[in-house]
A and B are shown apart, each in its own frame.
Chain A
Amino acid sequence: MTVFLNPNAWQPAPPRLIETAPILEVKGIQKRYGDIQAVANVDMSVYPGEIMGIVGESGSGKSTLLRMLHLEEPADAGSYKLNIDGWQDRELLQLDRFEQRKLRVSHIGIVYQHPHLGLRMHNTSSGNVAERLLVAGERTYSTLRQAAVSSLAASEFPLQRMDDLPRHLSGGMQQRVQLAKAIAMEPALLLLDEPTSGLDVSVQARVLDTLKSLQQQQKISTVLVSHDLGVIRTLADRVMVMRGGHVIEAGLTDQILEDPQEAYTQQLVHAKL
């Protein structure tokens, strides 16, 4: 294509501000275990369709933060809001057990590092996916089967094995079942806790490919926790660096990983084998 350098033909658009409201908004969230401040005053927001990476060493509070976002762990203080129909102005840290479950089942999906945490090992893979719909109240068998097929297909799981027990599957496939389970209810928020850390490099690459294409198709807002900067670099749009329960640096992924300002982040970026 020929480019005509006519100064009047094209004017660069002025930089636009993000006008959409964040889908997830956390302010001043705190968690303390005895003397240990696991999460100290963390603010974060996730915009629709975005992948927010959280990176940090073991014990930096990133998994605790994720568990609080999943409402598994009560927070000591702070505010947590999700901009989802029907839940807009609710303070999620104040929900009772029943409402927590309701919100979690239909709007939040989670993938754990260990498949044992996220899957029922004595139920079939398709049953694991169907569980989400059953807990949400679906009672039609054919609908459950269809939902299991479409979710497992979306996470690129080999469908001829959909009725196998997860413990007969490889680690990569187990993570795909977890992913299918997480997206079965088309959640507004997807939480990924070290989703590929237990996998070898080639399988990891393929699962990451699936995650990335799925995220692009379905535009699910995602929070991704990982200590692996490669994973963060591949998937995340923005990244938060945590240390000792504090967020020490946050910004666009490229910006943080290419030009880290904090000494700790610099160390982290350069600490490669």
Chain B
Amino acid sequence: MQTLASLKKSSDAYSFGFLDAFAKRELRRKILKAVAIPGYQVPYASREMPIARGWGTGGLQATLALAGPSSKVKVIDQGSDDSVNAANLRRFIARMTGCDATRDTLECTILQSRHRCPEERLKRGQVLVLQVPDPETLRSVEPNMTRARLMHADQDYGLMWLKLYEQLVRFGRFVQGASYPSLVNGRYVMSPSPIPRWDVPTLHQAQHLTILSAGREKRIYAVPPFTRVEPLEFTDEFFQVEEQSDWTCDRTGQRYKFMNEIPETDGTARHEISDTGYADKLIQKKEGEAVTLGETYYDDNGTFYHDGFLKS
């Protein structure tokens, strides 16, 4: 009798890492170029992947081009290891490269993520791969991509500040919640993928390499370690992260970590730490298991771990 398992081709039928040698070589070259020009969007020939465009094909290709047999890969989606998207990608990467999968941020060598950065600090040698739906941060102010590229070339970013000006005039504060435009290394303004504002400071002077890859838009860009990533702000109106100081995690009792808000039937809401890998470790620790908790970007008083640029 035929089963799904018997119909499945063995992984030997594919090249290592699913992509053919030329695709991997191209990706690695383009990643090197992206690292050499921080924040610059390098075009690349995004290949067809066995998942649909828009489901992380960009991040997947970058991960597959970087992963080797000794890599340890963690995949998260909105902070969660368990979502269908993250589980599928993790299984696919593990099957195609033979590398180990992990849920521990401290252990992984490659962390592919959609919409979040982990709470625990990534270290030297680790790579954060972010899935990007729309790499072009100028699209909201200049719909014509040819002109937007000229604006990048001329460093003509005044209109991005006009967008912020409009938010201040209409709402009295910056209302951009995700993809907060940030100036990389004082040169290119990039979209840091739809991570919340909470995560943007973690890219600034980070020890790890960040690769941002947009599969549908065929653009890859990077933030090398120890590079300035400054969210756009005025000299008298500052960038701020989300205000969640009076929220407490229901599972762990922690505060000052990025929370998911879970609505209740009675109209109230409870909150849970969005980074499930970290929350699970906190619970294991409480139950007396031997787990190592890494240092976090925000400490228990909500203070960021370096002076950076968070101003009150």
Residues of A within 8 A of B (CB): 97-98, 101, 120, 123-124, 126-127, 130-131, 134-137, 139-142, 144, 163
Q: Decide yes or no: A141 and B159 within 8 Å by CB, A123-B166, A127-B165 being known contacts.
A: no
**Given that A101-B154, A101-B156 are known contacts, is A139 also in contact with B170, CB under 8 Å in the complex?**
no
A163 and B165 contacting across the interface, CB-CB below 8 Å: no
- Whether B161 sits at the interface, judged by CB under 8 Å, is yes
Task: List chain A residues, Cβ under 8 A from B236.
Answer: 140-142
Q: 1/0 contact trace for B143-173 toward A, CB 8 Å?
A: 0000000100010101101100110111000
A98/B154 in contact, CB under 8 A: yes
Instruction: Look across to chain A and name the residue whose beta carbon is closest to the beta carbon of B232.
Output: A139
**What residues of chain B have their CB less than 8 Å away from a CB belonging to chain A?**
150, 154, 156, 158-159, 161-162, 165-166, 168-170, 234-237
A126 in contact with B161 (CB, 8 Å): no
By a CB distance below 8 angstroms, the chain B residues around A140 are 234-236
User: DSSP majority for the B interface?
Assistant: helix
Pick from B150, B158, B165: contact of A141, CB below 8 A: B165
Q: List 12 A-B contacts (CB under 8 A).
A: A97-B154, A120-B162, A124-B169, A131-B158, A131-B162, A134-B158, A134-B159, A135-B159, A139-B161, A139-B235, A140-B236, A141-B235
Chain A nearest Cβ from B161, distance in angstroms: 5
Give the CA-CA distance A83 to B3 in the complex, in Å. 83
Roughly how many angstroms separate A126 CA and B166 CA in the complex, as a whole number? Answer: 9
CA gap between A131 and B235 in the complex, in Å? 16
**A134 contacts which chain B residues (CB < 8 A)?**
158-159, 161-162, 165
Residue among B154, B159, B165, B236 with most chain A CB within 10 A:
B165
The 10 lowest CB-CB distance pairs between A and B, nearest first, are A135-B158, A134-B158, A141-B234, A140-B235, A141-B237, A134-B161, A131-B162, A127-B166, A134-B162, A163-B169
**CB of A105 to closest CB in B, whole Å:** 9
